[in-house]
Chains A and B, each alone.
Chain A
Amino acid sequence: MNFDPRYSNRNFASVGTRPIRPDGVDKVTGRARYGADFNMAGQLVGRVLRSPHAHAKIRKIDTSKAEALAGVKAVITAADLPDLTDGDAAMYDILDNCMARTKALYDGHAVAAVAAIDAHTARQALKLIVVDYEVLPHVTDVDEAMQHHAPLINDTIFTEGLEEKPAKPSNVTKRSQFGHGDVHQGFGHADFIVERSFKTEQTHQGYIEPHACVANVSSDGTADLWVCTQGHFVYRQHCAQLLGMEASKLRVTSSEIGGGFGGKTHVWAEPVALALSRKAGRPVKLVMTRDEVFRASGPTSATSIDVKIGARKDGTITAAEATLRYTSGPYAGTWAEIGAMTAFACYRLDNVKTVGFEVLVNRPKTAAYRAPSAPMAAFAVESTVDELAKELGMDPVEFRIKNAAQEGTRSSYGPVYGPIGIGPTLEAVKNHAHMKAPLKANQGRGMACGFWFNFGGQTCTDLNIGMDGSVSLAVGTVDVGGSRASLSLVAAEELGIAYEQVKAIVADTSSLGYNDMTDGSRGTFSSSMATISAARNAIKILRERAAQMWDISVDDVAWEQGHAVAKGEKHGNLGKLSLKEIAAQSGKTGGPIAGHSELVADGAGVSFATHICDVEVDPETGSTRVIRYTVVQDAGKAVHPTYVEGQYQGGAAQGIGWALNEEYIYGKDGRLQNAGFLDYRIPVCSDLPMIDTQILEIPNPNHPYGVRGVGETSIVPPLAAIANAVSNAAGVRMTHIPMSPPRILAAIEAEREG
Chain B
Amino acid sequence: MVEVTLWGALATTAGGNSKVEVEAKDIRELFRKLAEQYPGLEPWIDRGIAVAIDGTIYRDTWSKKLPPGAEIFLLPRLAGG
What residues make up the interface of A, taking CB atoms closer than 8 Å to B? 1, 90, 160-163, 174-179, 205, 261-263, 265, 334, 337-338, 341, 368-372, 411, 413-418, 453-458, 519-522, 600, 602-604, 701-702, 711-712
Give complex CA distance A597, B76 in Å: 28
Contact present for B60 and A521 (CB under 8 Å): no
Q: How close is A326's CB to chain B, nearest CB, in angstroms? A: 12
- CB neighbours (8 Å) of A602 from chain B are 56-61, 64
- CB neighbours (8 Å) of A176 from chain B are 7-9, 76
A-B contact pairs, 13 of them (CB 8 A): A162-B12, A163-B16, A265-B81, A338-B79, A414-B73, A414-B75, A415-B55, A453-B78, A519-B79, A519-B80, A602-B56, A602-B57, A603-B56
Give complex CA distance A454, B80 in Å: 8
Give complex CA distance A433, B8 in Å: 43
Contact present for A457 and B52 (CB under 8 Å): no
- CB neighbours (8 Å) of A90 from chain B are 47
- Tell which of B8, B57, B73 touches A603, judged by Cβ atoms closer than 8 Å: B57
Q: How close is A110's CB to chain B, nearest CB, in angstroms? A: 22
Q: How close is A209's CB to chain B, nearest CB, in angstroms? A: 16
Q: Which 9 interchain pairs have the tightest Cβ spacing?
A: A262-B81, A520-B80, A177-B8, A161-B9, A415-B52, A368-B81, A370-B81, A519-B80, A414-B73
- Tell which of B5, B54, B63, B78 touches A455, judged by Cβ atoms closer than 8 Å: B78
**Does residue B71 face the partner (Cβ distance < 8 Å to A)?**
yes
- CB neighbours (8 Å) of B71 from chain A are 415-416
Contact present for A161 and B5 (CB under 8 Å): no
- Tell which of B9, B52, B80 touches A522, judged by Cβ atoms closer than 8 Å: B80
Give complex CA distance A233, B71 in Å: 34
- CB neighbours (8 Å) of B16 from chain A are 163
Contact present for A372 and B81 (CB under 8 Å): yes
- CB neighbours (8 Å) of B80 from chain A are 262, 368, 371-372, 453-455, 519-522, 712
Q: How close is A283's CB to chain B, nearest CB, in angstroms? A: 31
Contact present for A372 and B75 (CB under 8 Å): no
Give complex CA distance A178, B78 in Å: 15
Contact present for B57 and A453 (CB under 8 Å): yes
Q: How close is A479's CB to chain B, nearest CB, in angstroms? A: 16
Give complex CA distance A417, B76 in Å: 17
- CB neighbours (8 Å) of A456 from chain B are 59-60
Q: How close is B44's CB to chain A, nearest CB, in angstroms? A: 10
- CB neighbours (8 Å) of B54 from chain A are 415-416, 418
Q: How close is A407's CB to chain B, nearest CB, in angstroms? A: 9
- Tell which of A177, A263, A416, A417 touches B9, judged by Cβ atoms closer than 8 Å: A177
Q: How close is A287's CB to chain B, nearest CB, in angstroms? A: 23
Q: Which of B6-64 contact A (CB under 8 A)?
A: 7-9, 12, 16, 47, 52, 54-61, 63-64
- CB neighbours (8 Å) of A711 from chain B are 81
- CB neighbours (8 Å) of A413 from chain B are 7, 75
